[in-house]
Structure 1
Amino acid sequence: MGSAQREEQKDTAGKVAVTGRYQTIPAKVAQDFTRPTFAAGAVLWRRSSDNPEEFEFAVIHRPHYDDYSLAKGKVDPGENLPMTAVREIAEETGFEVRLGQLLGHVTYPVAKRTKVVFYWLAEVTGGEFSSNNEVDTIAWVDAATAREMLSYELDRNVLDKAVKRLGVPVDARLILVRHAHAFSRRTWAGNDHLRPLDKKGLRQVEFLPAMLQGYRPTSIVSALPDRCQQTAQPIAQHFGFELTIDEDFGDDAWVSRMAAVKKRFEALIAQGECPIVVSQGLTIPDVVAWLSAKGRLPLEEFDTKKAGVWVLSFHQGELIGADYLASPLPIK
């Protein structure tokens, strides 16, 4: 089951300081629920045109149910959850979005099944709403008004989480992708850097670009091993990025010149964008642990499966949010 970990730190005066948020979507998420039907959506937000320091939230009206809710929809065959969230938002609202932090999930019974809905925070970056069969009106309102309008307590709780997350602005993101599944090191006789992806890894790579689409990444860099480059190339092609190969972001460099590599990661974060780094099974957990220790989000879990993705959020260089997506493969 997707898990959340929230830790509080205290400043020098003993007062509770800003907290961080950790969320996960495990590789076999379906096994944690009884007869699940999966869906995904988001709390859509934008800055107020009257005051850029204030936020407005989208509350949708669904004529079929005559209710007010958040944008969401069921997972289609062949989709992972971030893919579903972006597609459903576009279909229901016409909006283009940038996914932010994962807010978690809610569950409720529908007939003899369990509806499981994962929600993201999502900034509207473009598009235009047109009334349709699923949604006939959208109201852009402040948080208090949105809370009053929403028909369900579950939605109000999700909105509350979104408001808290927006209380600390994210000014940079870093996406860490472990290379996809490769041929076993035990049976590979040649140079380990030349060990390629296997059949499972190639399938994982098929779904990585679409899973990352909603985060609007800005660039990509890959560690030197071929399995990292094979994982990164389809992502770079999907977004039209030039793929940079840099041995500093691989395990060998992390072990031999860790201090210098840390400076490279700090420089990426300082750019204030959303770069993707494709790396290896030693570097990624260690980097997450290091950023956690120096940020506002103490973590205890760092293991990263092959093709697993960490979406890290920062405020003024400090880690304030971490979402771990264990697999890009479609939900089963």
Structure 2
Amino acid sequence: MTRPLHTVIVSCLVRNTSDEILLIRHPRRGWELPQGHVESGEELLAAATREVREETGIEVRIERLAAIFSKLEPQPSAVIFGFLGSAVGGQLTTSDESLEVGWFDEKTARKLPEHPVNRERLSDLLNHDGAILYRAYSMSPYRPQSGRDLG
């Protein structure tokens, strides 16, 4: 029996003391939230903290899990944990995965992501109402499959 394999990814909506939102401009995907793969043996919160720091130079305090996104196809499938966090230090710095980084007011932040999945993921986290959102989708083209609050 072949076991299905899933990539595990963490993403974080980070706000600063001015309530601005941290976004990166990825070389291929354009503007999006900081995100990345969880390494083997790495704890989810540590991975989210590491990814934000590596891609932006910002230190973050993870405050809550807000959403779980399930990319069904194309393969490899992925499970993306969407967290909310607050900036606690650091300075904006680019990386190989972030051609630009910046703080944006909510209205501007909502307009920047070009890809529908990145726009929707950002919107879901900005609209967080306390419940953990679950959303499944397929890509090429982007097609939401299902979504619901988990509690």
Asked whether the two chains share a fold, i.e. TM above 0.5, the reply is yes
Cα deviation code 1:195-233 (max 9, x no counterpart)? xxxxxxxxxxxxxxxxxxxxxxxxxxxxxxxxxxxxxxx
Q: Could you tell me whether the CA contact under 8 Å between 1:60 and 1:138 is conserved in 2?
A: yes
Letter paired with 2:30: D
For residue 132 of structure 1, give the secondary structure of its aligned residue in structure 2. coil
Measured after TM superposition, the shift of residue 109 of structure 1 is 4.8
Letter paired with 2:22: A
Question: 1:70–1:109: structure 2 CA closer, same or farther, 3 Å change rule?
Answer: same
Cα root mean square deviation, aligned:
2.5
- Residue 20 (structure 2) pairs with residue 56 (structure 1): yes
Structure 1 runs (4+) deviating above 6 angstroms are: none
Cross-structure match for 1:160: 123
Cross-structure match for 1:222: none
Cα deviation code 1:55-103 (max 9, x no counterpart)? 211121012x151111011011111211211111111111111111211
Cα deviation code 1:256-292 (max 9, x no counterpart)? xxxxxxxxxxxxxxxxxxxxxxxxxxxxxxxxxxxxx
Letter paired with 1:62: H
CA distance in 2: counterparts of 1:83 and 1:102, whole angstroms: 13
Cross-structure match for 2:15: 45
Which of 87, 101, 109 does residue 124 from structure 1 map onto?
87
Cross-structure match for 1:68: 31
Q: Could you tell me whether the CA contact under 8 Å between 2:57 and 2:94 is conserved in 1?
A: no
For residue 84 of structure 1, give the secondary structure of its aligned residue in structure 2. helix
Q: Which runs of 5 or more residues in structure 1 are unaligned?
A: 1-32, 49-54, 169-296, 298-322, 324-332
Which has a greater percent of helix? 1
CA distance in 2: counterparts of 1:148 and 1:37, whole angstroms: 28
TM-score norm. by structure 2 comes to 0.74
TM-score norm. by structure 1 comes to 0.36
Measured after TM superposition, the shift of residue 111 of structure 1 is 4.7
Q: Could you tell me whether the CA contact under 8 Å between 2:29 and 2:115 is conserved in 1?
A: no
For residue 47 of structure 1, give the secondary structure of its aligned residue in structure 2. coil
Which of 79, 92, 96 does residue 42 from structure 2 map onto?
79
- Residue 96 (structure 2) pairs with residue 96 (structure 1): no
Higher relative contact order (CA 8 A, sep 6+): 2
Which has a greater percent of strand? 2
Letter paired with 1:128: Q
Q: Percent identity?
A: 27
**Superposed, which structure 2 residues align to 1:146-185 within 5 Å?**
146-165=109-128
For residue 39 of structure 1, give the secondary structure of its aligned residue in structure 2. strand
Q: Aligned residues, how many?
A: 130
Cα deviation code 1:10-65 (max 9, x no counterpart)? xxxxxxxxxxxxxxxxxxxxxxx9421001120111132xxxxxx211121012x1
Cross-structure match for 1:35: 5
CA distance in 2: counterparts of 1:150 and 1:110, whole angstroms: 21
For residue 84 of structure 2, give the secondary structure of its aligned residue in structure 1. strand
Measured after TM superposition, the shift of residue 154 of structure 1 is 2.8
Measured after TM superposition, the shift of residue 122 of structure 1 is 0.9
For residue 100 of structure 1, give the secondary structure of its aligned residue in structure 2. strand
Measured after TM superposition, the shift of residue 124 of structure 1 is 0.7
